[in-house]
Amino acid sequence: MRRCSPLCLVIFLLFVIPPLSAQSGSELVQVIPPPIQLVPPPSPDASAQELEEQADVFREKKDLLDALDYFRAALAKDPNNSRIQNKVGITELIMLRYHDAKKSFEHAIRLDRQFADAYNNLGVTEYFRHNYGRAVKLYDKASQLRPDCASYYANAGAAYYSEKEFERAGMAYEQALKLDPTIFERTSRTGVAAQLPPNVEEKAHFDYLLAKLFAKEGDKDRSLQYLRRAMEEGYKQINNVYKDPEFEGLRSDARFSELMAARPRGIPE
């Protein structure tokens, strides 16, 4: 069942229900219960797969408490299902329940020691708890088990970046981009991938780093795109573009000259 907080009720009463005007000319607010959408409890006759599928729908709709109820009901029927246990952890992570998410991912790993996604997701939990070294080890384990997943390398890059180990971050991002050049242009609906820097200054540096990597790979279009972003975000060392060797091939492109001449305004500090 969807919950409604006291604040939600106050907002509903003050802004949704109009004042009732009495014949005497006085005004009052009529207190009525807010609309409640009832979600039926998990059916005892449903299979674990059916419960999991319904939980996926709830999570997609951001009905996270209902999703948890259904995932846990599915686990009650299939307690050794590491995939469902991992989904419980993802839901808890989205809800910022880091301690609970950590336990769920660890449980998923105990059920399946080869479950690469669970190692990655546990790494994400450690990343958000600022345990960057531990996060890197978990991302590395995930990439060893599944070396073709770009998100694992991107997440490792984010952890290195947070520790200001920019050279290692660049190598991890480079591997991620080789596997998936669009990794930083999309978001995951089912998990957490490709964490980005939290503030504008770091984001500007991050975008400049991506511009270098794309230039190195010969992808001029994306390099110029991220170079423009870095400039718009106020990257203070933008003139390094004239000496960094990765941009050597880009500097002869007319679009590069136009961009640098235009000098898009940075975001004010």
Q: What percent of the chain has pLDDT over 90?
A: 58
Mean pLDDT of the chain: 84
Q: How far is CA 90 from the centre of its chain?
A: 11
- 120 assigned to some structural domain: yes
Q: State mean pLDDT over 109-114.
A: 97
pLDDT at 35: 58
- 253 assigned to some structural domain: yes
- 9 assigned to some structural domain: no
- As a whole number of angstroms, the distance between CA 212 and CA 224 comes to 9
pLDDT at 268: 37
- As a whole number of angstroms, the distance between CA 125 and CA 195 comes to 12
Higher pLDDT, 188 or 137: 137
Q: Which range is least confidently modeled, 57-71, 146-160, 180-194?
A: 180-194
To the nearest 10°, report the CA torsion of 49, 54, 59, 60.
110
Q: Give residues with Cβ within 8 angstroms of 4, minimum separation 6.
A: 12, 34, 36
Whether the per-residue pLDDT at 264 is higher than 80: the answer is no
Judgement on whether residues 134 and 62 belong to the same structural domain of the protein: yes
Q: Which residues of 39-70 are buried (b: 16+ CB within 10 A; e: fewer)?
A: eeebeeebebebbbebbbebbeeebbebbbbb
pLDDT at 114: 97
Give the CATH number of the domain where residue 114 resides.
Answer: 1.25.40.10
Judgement on whether residues 134 and 207 belong to the same structural domain of the protein: no
- 222 assigned to some structural domain: yes
Judgement on whether residues 58 and 124 belong to the same structural domain of the protein: yes
Judgement on whether residues 208 and 136 belong to the same structural domain of the protein: no
Q: Kindly report each contact of residues 263-269 with a partner whose C-beta sits within 8 Å and lies 24 or more positions away, as own/partner.
A: 263/231, 264/228, 264/231, 264/232, 265/232, 266/204, 266/231, 266/232, 266/233, 266/234, 266/235, 267/200, 267/232, 267/233, 267/234, 268/234, 269/234
Of the three residues 128, 144, 160, the one that is the final residue of a domain is: 144
User: pTM of the full predicted structure?
Assistant: 0.74
- As a whole number of angstroms, the distance between CA 84 and CA 22 comes to 56
Higher pLDDT, 171 or 263: 171
pLDDT at 185: 76
Tokens read off for 137? 């080890």
pLDDT at 195: 57
In tens, the pLDDT along 173-207 reads 999 989 998 888 765 544 444 555 556 678 888 88
Of the three residues 144, 168, 184, the one that is the final residue of a domain is: 144
pLDDT band for position 147 (cuts 50, 70, 90): very high
- Do residues 29 and 22 lie in contact, with contact meaning Cβ atoms separated by under 8 Å? no
- 167 assigned to some structural domain: no
Of the three residues 100, 116, 144, the one that is the final residue of a domain is: 144
The count of structural domains within the chain is 2
Whether the per-residue pLDDT at 265 is higher than 80: the answer is no
- 204 assigned to some structural domain: yes
Whether the per-residue pLDDT at 7 is higher than 70: the answer is no
Name the residue range of residue 206's domain: 200-262
- 159 assigned to some structural domain: no
Higher pLDDT, 191 or 117: 117
Q: Which range is least confidently modeled, 11-20, 89-98, 232-241, 254-263?
A: 11-20
Four-residue CA torsion sign, 227, 230, 236, 237: negative
Four-residue CA torsion sign, 156, 159, 161, 166: negative
- 254 assigned to some structural domain: yes
In tens, the pLDDT along 212-230 reads 999 988 999 999 999 998 8
